Structure 1
Amino acid sequence: MSDTTKDTIASRLSDLREVMRRERLAAFIFPSTDPHCGEYVPDRWKGREFISGFDGSAGTAVVTMSEAALWTDSRYFLAAGEQLAGTEFVLMKERVEGTPTIAEWLGRKLAVSDTTEVGIDGMTCPAADVDTLRAGLRANGGLTLRTNFDPLALIWKDRPEAPLAPVELHPVEYAGEDCPSKLARVRAAMRERHAEGMLVSSLDDIAWTLNLRGTDVHCNPVFVSYLLVTHVSAVLFVDSRKITDGVAAYLETCGVELREYGDITSALRAYGEYNILMDGSLTSHTLYNSVRTHGRIDTALPITAMKAVKNAVEADGFRRAMVRDGVAMVKFLCRLRAEVERGGLTELGVCRLLAGYRSAQPLFRDLSFDTIAAYGAHGAVVHYEPTEGTDTPLEPRGLLLIDSGAHYLDGTTDITRTVALGPVDDEQRRVYTLVLKGHIALSMLKFPHGAAGTQLDAVARAAMWREGMNFMHGTGHGVGSYLNVHEGPHQIRMEWRPAPLLPGMTVTDEPGIYIAGRFGVRIENTLIVVPYMETGFGRFLQFEPLTLCPIDTAPIIPEMLTDEEKRWLDDYHARVFGTLSPHLEAEETDWLRRATSPIG
């Protein structure tokens, strides 16, 4: 962080504390979320980044009159430590023994404060999180929580406006199901839950239901809006300046009424049905408590699970998109070593080069997230993104970790490859091979229908656990169909996530090992769940790799792989070559033939 940025953060904290003093607030909490409780948010709602300088996708900043701290998870321990250096903010490592919760920390820090009131903007924090926080504050010193105040409205002088990019139609030829059919399924699910209405806050759920897309969130094809559905109506709350005549006419044919985005609170207050279905973990506290009805049904929305299971059109779209993405990756990889040996290529240069190959592919729309091109020690920073200040030249030695992806009209991609740019040492080879073993083990797994990702997670970690190694991020997440690259409800991770894995779900397979200060290794494919067999013990499922790109064999220690693992790798590479080679130039085909030659 530059000295200018450090001074800027200090100035912002000073302004905040002046406002807190006037409002008699002992502390203020800045979550990562926005009014739609999303993981990635438009610039207007990046309040935590504004006040702390930390730009990761997960974290919570807390400011008292004399101290400041930031909580984040293991993906960002190194990156947050670097970005917070020189500021007041102390890094709090979530889920690490000895790290207090926010409520515990505030209880200690405010024990002698002349006020016990803590603030948080209820419009940008999920109702469930507010309830948990309020209970924790009450238990730690009898602190109270105020939710009706946003200090950023006073201190963020150049705050960005809400985005106004036009909303776009997503053709049914890529969606595989029209909007009226989806609304009918949604209403049937509401009847099963005895719900008279439902509020949808999650932007990707809205985009999927209505077969619309947007560009309001960086690298996420969604648009800022709310959707209120009853058994007889559907109302989209969105800024009318974003709606073209064509989209308005389309929504009318789908039976969807348009109202202004800012009308949502008053509409909920006037809501007259007997009850309403809302997910308290994905609905802001303010909106959740705006409804004056007989009952709230607080549970996961049916749309989230519907969206996760890809229909046949979406699944085939993924397969086509992966071919184009694989072609782009091969064009990039076959020239990478030569570019490095020529000299002058940096991490940012890698990002630009790869983006160029992807953008040249048919149906390309955007990157699905900012490319992680992490050379050497940067590879140990799980969500490292190169900047002008950290950009590092590549040398013909060591490992380069590249985590990247793209949105195409027919699918979204997410792939990580760790590549040897030249000689690598024994430790790097051993770590690389352990990660590969974990990747292959999960990809080969057969499992009963309905198993949750948590029940599968250990398979990807077993080989590294035997060596006393581990990684702290999840092993896999769902991927949207030209939608957000992170999609639930299913995940593969150590922490319990009860959502079952079902046929048609996409999920990543991305184990890794990170040696702080030295290097990192991650290998990732996107998979789709497909049937395996049915026996007297029930239905069993397996994974089909969707990603098509060679896995670097140079850093592998072959003796560490079993015969079965070698066969899997050879079979995967044969499929990669057979599928991609017809789309490549002669030079690229020759490189791919070498890159996919049998490991044996």
Structure 2
Amino acid sequence: MFQSFTATASPEFGPKRLAALRAAMAEAEIDAVIIPRADAHQGEYVASCDQRLAWLTGFTGSAGFAVVTMDEAGVFVDGRYRAQVRVEVDLDHFTPVPWPEVQLTDWIAERLSEGAIVAFDPWLHTVEQVQKLAERFDPLGIETGWEDLIAQIWDDRPARPAEPLTVYPENLAGRSLSDKCDAVAKDLRDAGHSAAVLTLPDSICWLLNIRGADIPRIPIMHAFAVIHADGTVDLCTDAPAGPEVQAALTDRVRLHPYDALLNVFETLEGQVRLDPQSAPIKLWAFLGGRAALDNGAVAPVEGKDPCQLPKACKTEAEIAGARAAHLRDAAAVCEFLCWLDTEAPKGGLTEIDVATRLEQARVATGALKDISFETIAGAGPNGAIVHYRVNEKTNRPVKTGELLLIDSGGQYLDGTTDITRTVAVGEVGEEEKTCFTRVLRGMIAISMARFPKGLAGRDLDALARMPLWQAGQDYDHGTGHGVGSYLSVHEGPQRLSRISHEPLRPGMIVSNEPGYYREGAFGIRIENLVTVTKAADLPGADAREMLTFETLTYVPIDRRLIVAEMLSPAELAWINDYHATVEKKLSKTVPADICAWLKSACAPL
């Protein structure tokens, strides 16, 4: 099993660790400490040595942060984790704070006075984050300081991982290392920059056509890199590079230990680009200090990570790989759903049984490298916990008359998958069906969208919410996130979200996953992955480039939960066409018993 069901954090450790942190704060004369979820690479998924937030508070969600003062400890979470945080932290010692409704700087400003010191680890906070702190705190006379107090009190902290690197096949990448480095180098020269610092491991993996194994569920390594305007690269990582990897990296890439990044910085000259949204403030300050000493021989400049956008716009080879990976994954998911339809109504299944059986179906493909994230198997009210992770303590029976939400994915060499299906276990209520159909209508709206080139995710997000809005309902997460090619299941800069300003471009892969959650009762989410593509020309249309989405995920949507009368003729046609395509694509690849189930699951409404 890739997935473990052991509880990774527990509320009972929080009070003792909180007391130790406050003792360290008192000794250092610090009034508040900020503890983020991210590591030095701003990773959503982090190694065990970087799970500071979970270690201190017990909260295991993949986003959030804590602020500890001498009197209060706030755990800031967004709408995805409001229910989860109340279960995982000791509420007598930690206070959940709704973020972004309550901003970190406002919360701190209300509790500290002039002359107070707020500490943070400069490796864990970006240039942009620290700039925002200064904008708010400087007028109030609140100071900031650099202290890693968690390191001082975390006695049994795990070691940093260093797993071997592997070569990513060029035929799957669609572009060579040399081609990518040359293109990025030209971008730097055109901007007048001598080099760019890469702090995002998935950017480095994409650029160099390599993969790692330092982070669970994501084939990346702990690494920093500097790409120079001549197309050469300094790679800083402790991940071992065997002869095959070294040969693939060629003489363009110079290898250094992970901790040697600042030594590499000592050799830089000219304008060095750092992305303020992802680069640690430590790096900006170090280069700024050198600039002051060297009379401007080197200077840090703000600019976007030059790998993010080309990485997001997949090559034809990557899209072809994604199609193949999704069809392979779909066959496994259908095998699982057929089993679930037979076994769940009998009673006796638990959430762990569900997650285990689904992983076994993927492993049986013979191509699974890992799951792409911890499978979410939320039965009944647990489905309302948006990023629920079942463990031995929370494991709930799968009961008849309830909804079961299953959000899962696989890491295959040719693609990364992510799919959510909400299914009925036995007969469920009309309210659940009505809400499910509203969510489905939103998912169909995105699937059918046709939009002008230049629009961003914020321009489309409302399409998915409109059926829910009309009923006074909504969901507290984005409609979709970017997805990598055998990389992170959550990739930027593309998103379907009201806060996304990045224009959608052909080749980008995003999820399409509206939902609805009723705390204490049920959760609903339906998710397909789609890729942005050029829309076909229409007779008589204006001469402007239009884009649309190609669906990559082909797995039946539970028709027992669909109220057909709520669908428009176009929506009804879409779901029937989708199911017909599912059956056509999979009927030749699944066994006869699955094929019979598939025919029933894909029958027209």
| Structure 2 Cα separation of the partners of residues 71 and 145 of structure 1 | 19
Deviation readout 1:295-318 (Å, 9 max, x if unpaired) = 333121221000001101000000
- SS of 2:387's equivalent? coil
CA shift, 1:72, in A, is: 1.1
Is the aligned partner of 1:457 residue 2:461?
yes
Deviation readout 1:160-201 (Å, 9 max, x if unpaired) = 111021111111121111111110111111123221100000
- SS of 1:302's equivalent? coil
CA shift, 1:219, in A, is: 0.7
CA shift, 1:261, in A, is: 0.8
Unaligned runs of 5+ in 2: 1-5
In the alignment, which of 137, 157, 167 is matched to residue 155 of structure 2? 157
What residue in structure 1 maps to residue 533 of structure 2? 530
| Structure 2 Cα separation of the partners of residues 513 and 272 of structure 1 | 51
For 2:168, give the aligned amino acid.
H
What residue in structure 2 maps to residue 550 of structure 1? 556
| Structure 1 Cα separation of the partners of residues 546 and 109 of structure 2 | 50
For 1:142, give the aligned amino acid.
G
Deviation readout 1:24-81 (Å, 9 max, x if unpaired) = 1111110111111222211111111111111111111111122211111111011012
| Structure 2 Cα separation of the partners of residues 559 and 597 of structure 1 | 16
What residue in structure 1 maps to residue 175 of structure 2? 177
| Structure 2 Cα separation of the partners of residues 431 and 138 of structure 1 | 48
| Structure 1 Cα separation of the partners of residues 511 and 105 of structure 2 | 34
What residue in structure 2 maps to residue 68 of structure 1? 73
What residue in structure 2 maps to residue 192 of structure 1? 190
Q: Which aligned pairs between 1:445-594 and structure 2 lie closer than 5 A?
A: 445-495=449-499, 497-534=500-537, 535-594=541-600
Question: Does the CA-based 8 Å contact 1:104-1:137 persist in structure 2?
Answer: no
What residue in structure 1 maps to residue 3 of structure 2? none
Is the aligned partner of 1:399 residue 2:398?
no
Deviation readout 1:414-468 (Å, 9 max, x if unpaired) = 1000001111111101100000000001100101112111101111111111111
What residue in structure 2 maps to residue 423 of structure 1? 427
CA shift, 1:249, in A, is: 2.6
| Structure 1 Cα separation of the partners of residues 376 and 479 of structure 2 | 17
What residue in structure 2 maps to residue 143 of structure 1? 142
- SS of 2:144's equivalent? strand
Q: Which deviates further from its counterpart, 199-208 or 11-20? A: 11-20
Alpha-carbon spacing, 1:564–1:7, altered in 2? closer, same or farther (3 Å):
closer
| Structure 1 Cα separation of the partners of residues 183 and 311 of structure 2 | 11
CA shift, 1:87, in A, is: 4.2
| Structure 2 Cα separation of the partners of residues 95 and 10 of structure 1 | 26
Q: Which aligned pairs between 1:251-330 and structure 2 lie closer than 5 A?
A: 251-253=249-251, 255-268=252-265, 270-291=266-287, 292-293=290-291, 294=296, 295-330=299-334
Question: Does the CA-based 8 Å contact 1:6-1:87 persist in structure 2?
Answer: no
What residue in structure 2 maps to residue 27 of structure 1? 32
| Structure 2 Cα separation of the partners of residues 341 and 429 of structure 1 | 18
| Structure 1 Cα separation of the partners of residues 221 and 347 of structure 2 | 42
Q: Which aligned pairs between 1:75-86 and structure 2 lie closer than 5 A?
A: 75-86=80-91
Q: Which deviates further from its counterpart, 197-206 or 77-86? A: 77-86
TM-score between the two structures when normalised by the length of structure 2:
0.95
Q: Which aligned pairs between 1:1-12 and structure 2 lie closer than 5 A?
A: 5-12=10-17
What residue in structure 2 maps to residue 432 of structure 1? 436
Deviation readout 1:385-423 (Å, 9 max, x if unpaired) = 111111101122221011100010000001000001111
What residue in structure 2 maps to residue 201 of structure 1? 199
Deviation readout 1:335-354 (Å, 9 max, x if unpaired) = 10222133321111111100
For 1:49, give the aligned amino acid.
A
For 1:542, give the aligned amino acid.
T
| Structure 1 Cα separation of the partners of residues 88 and 260 of structure 2 | 38
| Structure 2 Cα separation of the partners of residues 283 and 432 of structure 1 | 41
| Structure 2 Cα separation of the partners of residues 369 and 456 of structure 1 | 26
For 1:440, give the aligned amino acid.
I
Q: Which deviates further from its counterpart, 186-195 or 415-424? A: 186-195
Alpha-carbon spacing, 1:511–1:82, altered in 2? closer, same or farther (3 Å):
same
Deviation readout 1:314-343 (Å, 9 max, x if unpaired) = 000000001110000000000102221333
Unaligned runs of 5+ in 1: none
CA shift, 1:513, in A, is: 0.8
| Structure 1 Cα separation of the partners of residues 83 and 200 of structure 2 | 30
CA shift, 1:559, in A, is: 0.4
For 1:144, give the aligned amino acid.
E
- SS of 2:583's equivalent? helix
For 1:146, give the aligned amino acid.
G
- SS of 2:323's equivalent? helix
Question: Does the CA-based 8 Å contact 2:80-2:385 persist in structure 1?
Answer: yes
| Structure 1 Cα separation of the partners of residues 18 and 41 of structure 2 | 26
For 2:474, give the aligned amino acid.
N
TM-score between the two structures when normalised by the length of structure 1:
0.95
Is the aligned partner of 1:352 residue 2:356?
yes
Q: Percent identity?
A: 37
Deviation readout 1:474-529 (Å, 9 max, x if unpaired) = 0011110000000111111122x221111111111100111111101110000011
What residue in structure 2 maps to residue 218 of structure 1? 216
Is the aligned partner of 1:123 residue 2:129?
no
| Structure 1 Cα separation of the partners of residues 440 and 314 of structure 2 | 27
What residue in structure 1 maps to residue 23 of structure 2? 18
| Structure 1 Cα separation of the partners of residues 510 and 531 of structure 2 | 6
| Structure 2 Cα separation of the partners of residues 12 and 569 of structure 1 | 52
What residue in structure 1 maps to residue 60 of structure 2? 55
| Structure 1 Cα separation of the partners of residues 53 and 593 of structure 2 | 48
What residue in structure 2 maps to residue 361 of structure 1? 365
Q: Which aligned pairs between 1:377-396 and structure 2 lie closer than 5 A?
A: 377-396=381-400
- SS of 1:39's equivalent? coil
Question: Does the CA-based 8 Å contact 1:337-1:396 persist in structure 2?
Answer: no
For 1:274, give the aligned amino acid.
G
| Structure 2 Cα separation of the partners of residues 434 and 466 of structure 1 | 9
Alpha-carbon spacing, 1:133–1:184, altered in 2? closer, same or farther (3 Å):
same
| Structure 2 Cα separation of the partners of residues 86 and 438 of structure 1 | 36
Is the aligned partner of 1:596 residue 2:597?
no
